[in-house]
């Protein structure tokens, strides 16, 4: 049964499960095998469920192919070792000229010498040497017997069958890409299993345990940041009154309501996809010496906090967890129509995502405001081949399978035994048991959306759009904070002065290194591509 349409980002990364073996293996290892690790948030409409489901199916399909090809190569060597070896040598030479893989159809990256040497050594160790030993043994056992037993033609037949198997696998994958993941494709089936269900829920939770130094895993690279600290003093004319009481929860609710008006019909809404979320981050390295940690359910990290827990974190910013108001903005625009409703330009889905993290903390008589902007570039162009494949099955699809990376067919045949052995070793690895450790890192280590992204925003205009929406949110935030403080009778002169300093002097990011043509002042990473700098 087909449900709602898949977003382009989800389609492309689901296609990466077939096109990029490295991406698929990282996804399954980090999110399925390491079931005790947290799940990075999914932003911009991206959904992990279909991607992981295609990763699992791709691995099963590929394992069957590798096993079948390995058996055919062994049989070819057994039937006629002397005649088969030269043909395998030719295939090995062709494999050395293959692109980075069937997995990276749009790229023409050659395999490194180390990888080629590994494939050759693995092939001889797993296929040629065992077949040679077995052939000699069978030859000695059947010495003196007439050799004309009709097996001379079996060796080339097995080689042809191995190549045909690889080609049939590719055609099968192309059918999946064109029929299930092409433009306009809908969600099919459902994610089964407890871990898949947990991942599907955790990607949209309000709590993320992170590993390493980056607390904003899944949101992209830091491009802009500033902070303001101001005292919560009464206005000059109100000096005799009691100090103003500012509750951080009330401030967050007020600011959140003002920000939410940017996407409602109460006033002209921003013509972009905008989500406003509660987001709590905490270090995933947890100490379990005194029993179960509050951020765990047994040996699984929690991904959802209740409203009361959220309010407690907001009112206690000095704790190990930090609350942010997370605003996710997609730079894709809606369709453009004229006054008569006729379409002038269609809607675009450019899948670039801007994230804005706002942290408001009240400690003593001080207000601390933190504003962080990150940008997540679009999905890699190599995965967008699903938009170029022919929809019709049959000859057109076979021709497409043959025309793209033809040398990769030879590589897929020669490297099948080594990849099959690697797959077996990966399946035999024992998962870690957190109960064996007093301190264990439950944090999320990878975001599939980030893993499948381009190194940077592709076009100068996309960078300008991202910066524009970040500035709009920044203006709305500062006005909301000022209105709230003035309503409570707080002197806002110091806060206004620091806002002016941020606007006039650019952005301050300590410890960051950014390259390229800056668009948003000091610290901006919205840079023009090479040769396309701003005038």
Q: Which residues pair with 274 in a beta bridge?
A: 329
pLDDT of 83 strictly over 70 = yes
pLDDT, average across residues 512-524: 37
User: Which range, of 311-320, 443-452, 496-505, averages the lowest pLDDT?
Assistant: 496-505
**Contact call for residues 509 and 224 (beta carbons, < 8 A):** yes
Query: Which of 119-123, 151-155, 374-378 is the most confident on average?
Result: 374-378
**Contact call for residues 452 and 9 (beta carbons, < 8 A):** no
pLDDT tens digit string along 232-257? 876 665 555 666 788 999 999 999 99
Specify the higher pLDDT residue, 364 or 504.
Answer: 364
Distance CA 506, CA 504 (A): 6
Return the closest-CA partner of residue 96 out of 408, 419, 405: 408
pLDDT of 495 strictly over 60 = yes
pLDDT of 106 strictly over 60 = no
Averaged pLDDT score across all residues of the chain? 78
Token couple for 404: 């793209």
**Contact call for residues 70 and 33 (beta carbons, < 8 A):** no
Specify the higher pLDDT residue, 391 or 2.
Answer: 391
The pLDDT of residue 270: 56
pLDDT of 218 strictly over 80 = yes
pLDDT of 66 strictly over 70 = yes
The pLDDT of residue 352: 82
The pLDDT of residue 1: 43
The pLDDT of residue 332: 57
**Contact call for residues 12 and 452 (beta carbons, < 8 A):** yes
pLDDT of 280 strictly over 90 = yes
Residue 358 — very low, low, confident or very high, per pLDDT cuts 50/70/90?
A: very high
Distance CA 37, CA 55 (A): 18
Percent of the chain, pLDDT > 70?
71
pLDDT, average across residues 506-514: 42
Model confidence, pTM: 0.79
Distance CA 381, CA 477 (A): 35
The pLDDT of residue 348: 63
Interior/surface letters 421-454, b for 16+ CB within 10 angstroms, e for the rest: eebeeeeeeeebebeeeeebbbbbbbbbbbbbbe
pLDDT of 522 strictly over 50 = no
Dihedral sign from CA coordinates of 126, 130, 135, 138: negative
Residue 316 — very low, low, confident or very high, per pLDDT cuts 50/70/90?
A: very high
Specify the higher pLDDT residue, 490 or 336.
Answer: 490
Residue 74 — very low, low, confident or very high, per pLDDT cuts 50/70/90?
A: confident
pLDDT tens digit string along 171-190? 888 888 888 888 877 776 66
Give the three-class secondary structure for 400: helix
Return the closest-CA partner of residue 386 out of 7, 14, 26: 14
pLDDT tens digit string along 9-35? 999 999 999 989 889 999 999 999 888
Contacts of 413 (CB under 8 A, 6+ apart): 69, 73, 91, 95, 162, 163, 166
3-state SS string for 297-364: ECCEECCCCCHHHHHHHHHCCCCCEEEEEEEEEECCCCCEECCCCCEEECCCCCCCEEEEEEEEEEEC
pLDDT of 148 strictly over 70 = no
User: Which range, of 175-184, 319-328, 491-500, 510-519, averages the lowest pLDDT?
Assistant: 510-519
Percent of the chain, pLDDT > 90?
29
The pLDDT of residue 209: 95
The pLDDT of residue 344: 64
Give the three-class secondary structure for 468: helix
Distance CA 87, CA 227 (A): 66
Residue 455 — very low, low, confident or very high, per pLDDT cuts 50/70/90?
A: confident
pLDDT of 96 strictly over 60 = yes
């Amino acid at each position: 049964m087909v449900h709602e349409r898949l977003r382009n980002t989800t389609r492309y990364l689901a296609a990466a499960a077939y096109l990029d073996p490295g991406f698929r293996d990282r996804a399954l290892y980090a999110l399925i095998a390491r079931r005790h690790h947290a799940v990075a948030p999914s932003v911009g409409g991206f959904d992990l469920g279909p991607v992981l489901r295609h990763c699992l199916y791709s691995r099963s399909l590929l394992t069957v192919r590798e096993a079948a090809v390995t058996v055919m190569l062994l049989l070819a060597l057994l039937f006629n070792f002397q005649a088969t070896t030269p043909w395998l040598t030719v295939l090995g030479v062709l494999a050395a000229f293959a692109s980075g893989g069937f997995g990276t159809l749009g790229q023409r990256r050659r395999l490194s010498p180390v990888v080629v040497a590994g494939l050759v050594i693995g092939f001889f160790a797993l296929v040629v040497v065992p077949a040679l030993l077995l052939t000699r043994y069978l030859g000695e056992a059947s010495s003196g017997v007439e050799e004309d037993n009709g097996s001379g033609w079996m060796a080339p037949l097995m080689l042809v069958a191995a190549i045909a198997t690889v080609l049939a696998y590719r055609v099968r994958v192309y059918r999946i890409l064109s029929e299930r993941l092409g433009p306009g494709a809908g969600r099919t089936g459902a994610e089964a299993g407890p871990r898949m269900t947990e991942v599907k829920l955790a990607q949209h939770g309000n709590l993320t345990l992170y590993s390493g130094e980056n607390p904003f895993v899944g949101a992209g690279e830091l491009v802009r940041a500033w902070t303001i600290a101001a005292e919560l003093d009464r206005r000059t004319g109100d000096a005799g009154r009691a100090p103003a009481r500012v509750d951080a929860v009330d401030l967050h609710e007020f600011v959140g309501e003002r920000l939410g008006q940017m996407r409602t019909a109460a006033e002209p809404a921003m013509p972009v996809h905008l989500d406003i979320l509660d987001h709590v981050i905490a270090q995933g390295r947890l100490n379990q010496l005194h029993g179960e940690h509050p951020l765990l359910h047994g040996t699984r990290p929690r991904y959802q906090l209740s409203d009361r827990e959220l309010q407690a974190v907001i009112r206690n910013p000095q704790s190990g967890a930090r609350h942010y108001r997370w605003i996710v903005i997609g730079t894709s625009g809606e369709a453009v129509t004229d006054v008569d409703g006729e379409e002038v330009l269609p809607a675009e889905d450019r899948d670039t995502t801007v994230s804005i993290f706002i942290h408001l903390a009240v400690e003593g008589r001080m207000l601390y405001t933190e504003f962080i902007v990150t940008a997540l570039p679009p999905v890699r162009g190599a995965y967008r081949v699903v938009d170029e494949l022919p929809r019709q099955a049959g000859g057109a699809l076979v021709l497409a399978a043959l025309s793209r990376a033809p040398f990769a067919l030879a590589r897929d045949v020669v490297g099948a035994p080594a990849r099959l052995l690697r797959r077996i070793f990966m399946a035999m690895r024992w998962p870690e048991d957190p109960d064996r450790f007093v301190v264990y890192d439950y944090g999320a280590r990878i975001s599939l959306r980030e893993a499948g992204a381009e190194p940077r925003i592709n076009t100068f205009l996309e960078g300008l759009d991202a910066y524009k929406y970040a500035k709009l949110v920044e203006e709305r935030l500062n006005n909301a904070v000022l209105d709230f403080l003035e309503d409570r009778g707080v002197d806002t002169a110091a806060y206004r002065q620091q806002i002016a300093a941020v606007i006039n002097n650019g952005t301050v990011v300590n410890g960051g290194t950014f390259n390229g043509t800056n668009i948003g002042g000091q610290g901006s990473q919205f840079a023009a591509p090479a040769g396309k700098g701003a005038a």
